[in-house]
Amino acid sequence: MSEFYALLFTVAFSVMVLGLVFKIIQYSMVPAPLKIPVTPAPITKSGVVLRLAKEAILFAALFRSNKWTWLFGWMFHMSLFVVLANHLRFFIKDVPLPLVLLQNVGEYAAFTMFIGLTGLLIRRIYVARVKYISSPSDYLWLLLLMFIALSGIIMRFVSHTDVVAVKEFSLGLLSFNWQALPLDFPIMLHLLLVAILMILFPFSKLLHIPGLFFAPTRNQVDNPREKRHISSWAAKMDSEKNKMQP
């Protein structure tokens, strides 16, 4: 069983990374032939970095759009971020001080993550407009993440798992020196769901993470009059002989 999990995680992680790399290459290969930033837009590159940071960290557009969705969505994502940071300890032999300190607050992030996800699920079920646009997969993603959070909470606060052994297992994954995994039900569920998430990542709406940064509406500089923008395929149609010259 431990071998199965070790193999599953190695495969899942590879699928996620390779899939994401493929998608990122695909997005960057497709040209953006016209300047289409949604204005008012920054007129400098550093302004664009700031604009994207505001979207990625604060969810600025969503905040403007809908306060409830923002509250639950932001709560979920920020908690997830803390939870992920907290999990770094499983992959670092000597845990650095910041991560040790983080644990004190970090372990409660699983709860806010769960609350955020619950809010999003309730909204998806009870707001008629949001229900209308939801496919089965939209609910399943929320449930998947909720079960991941829940199994984590159970391991930490209800039926403790041997974390030292888990750390042996996860460090073993990194060096391809597979170790035994404590075979409790919560950890097996937790890891199975995480592996499913990683495998599905590049084939799903989780692509919104790279997508956010590749949206030409947000990542372009507003300078079309000052600087001529021309993409690869447009340049071919743009040859001098097609154009009247003074």
Partner 1 sequence: MADFETPKFREYPIVPQIKDDAMAGKGPFISRPEFDHDLGYPGELPEDWKEQALDKMKDLLGRYRSFRVFMDSCIKCGACTDKCHYFIGTNDPKNMPVARQDLMRKVYRRYFTFAGKFFPKLVGAVDLTEDVLDEWYNYYHQCSECRRCSVFCPMGIDTAEITMAAREILSHVGKSQKYSNQIVQKVYKIGNNLGLPGKALNGILEDLEEEVEEDTGVPVKFNMDVEGCEALLMTPSADFFAEPHIDGLIGYGKVLHELGITWTVSSEASEAANFGLFIGSYENIQKISMRIREAAIKLKVKRIIFGECGHAWRVAYSFLNTLAGPFDFLDQNYPIPQHILEVTHGALEEGKLRMNKEENDHLTMTFHDSCNVARGSRMGDKPGGQFDIPRAVIQAACNNYVDMHADTINDATFCCGGGGGLLTDDLMELRIKGALPRMEALKDATEESGVTNIAAICAICKSQFTKVLPYYGFEMDAIMSVHQLVSEAIVMTGSEQEKDLDGIEEDTKEAEPTE
Interactions with partner 1, residue window 207-246 (CB under 8 A) = 207-208, 211-212, 214-218, 222, 224-225, 228-230, 233-234, 237, 243-246
* Rounded Cα gap, residues 10 and 28, in angstroms: 27
Burial of 232 (0-12, 13-18, 19+ CB in 10 A): exposed
3-class DSSP state for residue 173? helix
The answer to the question of residue 61 lying near partner 1 (CB under 8 A) is yes
Q: Among 20, 36, 144, 171, which residue interacts with partner 1 (rule: CB under 8 A)?
A: 36
Residue 245's Cα: distance from chain center in Å? 50
The answer to the question of residue 144 lying near partner 1 (CB under 8 A) is no
Shorter beta-carbon distance to partner 1: residue 93 or 225: 225
40: cis peptide before it, omega within 30°? yes
Structure tokens at 69: 């969705």
Shorter beta-carbon distance to partner 1: residue 135 or 175: 135
CB of 16 within 8 A of CB of 199?
yes
CB under 8 A: which stretch of 3-11, 23-31, 92-100, 172-180 binds partner 1? 23-31
Structure tokens at 109: 């992030």
Distance of closest approach, residue 238 Cβ to partner 1, in angstroms: 8
* Rounded Cα gap, residues 156 and 163, in angstroms: 9
Interactions with partner 1, residue window 73-132 (CB under 8 A) = 73, 123-124, 127-130, 132
* Rounded Cα gap, residues 194 and 197, in angstroms: 5
Interface residues with partner 1 (CB under 8 A)?
Answer: 23, 26-27, 30-36, 38-43, 55, 59, 61-62, 64-66, 69, 73, 123-124, 127-130, 132-138, 140, 200, 203-205, 207-208, 211-212, 214-218, 222, 224-225, 228-230, 233-234, 237, 243-246
